[in-house]
């Protein structure tokens, strides 16, 4: 679902970026009020989980691939604003350090995955769950539906953003300057991938985690909305160790995402797109592939080992991302302490 540089016009990128700047500002302000310092490690785990789960690409029958996002879980546990911050951290790291997504299109990617998914999923979850008990099956089902619907709405937005490009930005002869496919192509393609594969995957991951928390640490599901008392803090902190273990296991098995052949729809390189439509749009030539990531495509450049460029390189990149996330969340923790 990541939109690379060159697929969106500068005008679209600027608009989406302008939308997300106040959203991130509000999210940061909300976080200062609602996020307790002891809960910051949860934000780190959530951001790292979102980053890592997006490395697990799964095949789509049309030859492309897709992935889950993990934003719904973070939204249910810490609220939509915290999820916006956590997933945004993951997306920024992906774009800057690994070239996954674009620098210019970062605002659009953050809007689709770090804003739409958390808010749609959280409020849909709350609507369906109602006042039911934390341990109820109703909440489990609510989490599954919320995850499925939210990622599909996010995919719809991405399809629209891509599909309006040839309509709004083209040469006099109609040749598209950026993303070349129209709405009648992009929306069905994005929805097909997410309705049949990415949506069920997001729903399954969300449901599994929520069900596990219901049985092993239900206090974690009481953290948001914030309570006047220190609800569950001691039990939550005591139970974090097993989630770190699960995250480490997820990182170790991350190379499974390499088994999937084919890029996600709309994430093709210029050469790949040329093989499909016979040319590379001028905007993609001008704005695409300009950012030189430190570890492009989650590989270690300069390594002579093909294995290290793939499997071990994939794990190494996930560990690097985890370290960066820990640094960022440590800064957030320090700011929280200064506030107090």
What pLDDT shows up at residue 260? Answer: 84
Mean pLDDT calculated for residue range 180-205: 96
Find the range with the poorest average confidence among 155-159, 187-191, 227-231: 227-231
Give Cα separations from 195 to 22, 35, 71, 174 (angstroms). 31, 33, 17, 31
Crossing angle for the helix pair 313-339 and 40-53, nearest 10 degrees? 150
The torsion angles phi and psi of 77, rounded to 5 degrees, stand at: -80, -50
Mean pLDDT calculated for residue range 122-130: 97
If one counts the domains in the chain, the total is 1
The reply to whether 2 falls in a domain is: no
**Cross-strand bridge partners of residue 176:** 170
Report which listed range, 183-192, 226-235, 270-279, is most confident: 183-192
What pLDDT shows up at residue 247? Answer: 94
CATH number, residue 329: 1.10.1760.20
Other beta carbons within 10 angstroms of residue 272's beta carbon come to: 12
Sole residue written with tokens 């006042």: 131
The reply to whether 4 falls in a domain is: no
Q: What pTM was computed for the model?
A: 0.93
The torsion angles phi and psi of 285, rounded to 5 degrees, stand at: -65, -40
- Compute the mean pLDDT over every residue in the chain, rounded to the nearest whole number: 90
The reply to whether 183 falls in a domain is: yes
Assess whether pLDDT exceeds 80 at residue 226.
no
Query: Could you tell me the pLDDT band of residue 62, with boundaries at 50, 70 and 90?
Result: confident
The reply to whether 5 falls in a domain is: no
Mean pLDDT calculated for residue range 112-130: 97
What pLDDT shows up at residue 263? Answer: 82
The reply to whether 243 falls in a domain is: yes
**Which residue stretches of 35-136 are H helix?**
40-53, 71-78, 80-98, 106-110, 117-129
Handedness of CA 47, 52, 55, 57 (dihedral sign): negative
What pLDDT shows up at residue 49? Answer: 96
What pLDDT shows up at residue 155? Answer: 96
Find the range with the poorest average confidence among 13-17, 107-111, 308-312: 308-312
Tell me the pairing of strands 65-66 and 58-59: antiparallel
The reply to whether 3 falls in a domain is: no
The reply to whether 91 falls in a domain is: yes
pLDDT digits (tens, 9 = 90+) for 127-184: 999 999 999 999 999 999 999 999 999 999 999 999 999 999 999 999 999 999 999 9
Enclosing domain of residue 52: 10-339
The reply to whether 119 falls in a domain is: yes
């Amino acid at each position: 679902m990541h939109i690379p540089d060159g697929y969106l016009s500068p005008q679209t990128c600027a608009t989406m970026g302008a939308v997300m700047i106040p959203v991130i500002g509000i999210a940061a302000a909300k976080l200062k009020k609602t996020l307790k310092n002891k809960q910051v490690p949860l934000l780190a785990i959530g951001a790292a989980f979102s980053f890592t789960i997006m490395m697990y690409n799964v095949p789509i029958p049309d030859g492309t691939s897709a992935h889950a996002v993990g934003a719904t879980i973070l939204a249910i546990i810490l609220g939509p604003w915290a999820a916006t911050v956590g997933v945004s951290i993951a997306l920024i790291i992906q774009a800057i350090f690994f070239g996954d997504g674009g620098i210019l299109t970062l605002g659009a990617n953050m809007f689709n995955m770090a804003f739409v998914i958390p808010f749609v999923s959280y409020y849909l979850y709350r609507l369906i769950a109602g006042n039911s008990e934390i341990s109820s099956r109703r909440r489990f089902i609510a989490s599954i539906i919320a995850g499925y619907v939210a990622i599909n709405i996010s995919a719809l937005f991405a399809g629209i953003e891509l599909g309006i490009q040839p309509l709004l930005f083209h040469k006099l002869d109609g040749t598209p300057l950026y993303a070349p496919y129209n709405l009648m192509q992009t929306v069905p393609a994005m929805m097909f991938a997410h309705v049949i594969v990415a949506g069920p995957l997001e729903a399954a991951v969300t449901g599994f985690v929520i069900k596990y928390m219901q049985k092993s640490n239900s206090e974690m599901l009481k953290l948001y909305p914030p309570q006047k008392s220190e609800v569950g803090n001691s039990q939550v902190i005591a139970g974090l160790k097993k989630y770190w273990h699960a995250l480490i296991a997820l990182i170790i098995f991350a190379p499974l995402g390499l088994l999937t052949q084919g890029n996600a729809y709309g994430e093709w390189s210029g050469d790949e797109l040329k093989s499909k439509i016979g040319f590379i749009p001028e905007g993609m030539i001008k704005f695409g592939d300009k950012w030189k990531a430190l570890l492009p495509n989650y590989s270690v450049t300069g390594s002579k080992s093909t294995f290290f460029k793939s499997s071990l390189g994939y794990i190494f990149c996930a560990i690097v991302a985890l370290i960066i996330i820990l640094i960022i969340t440590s800064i957030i923790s320090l700011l929280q302490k200064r506030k107090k």
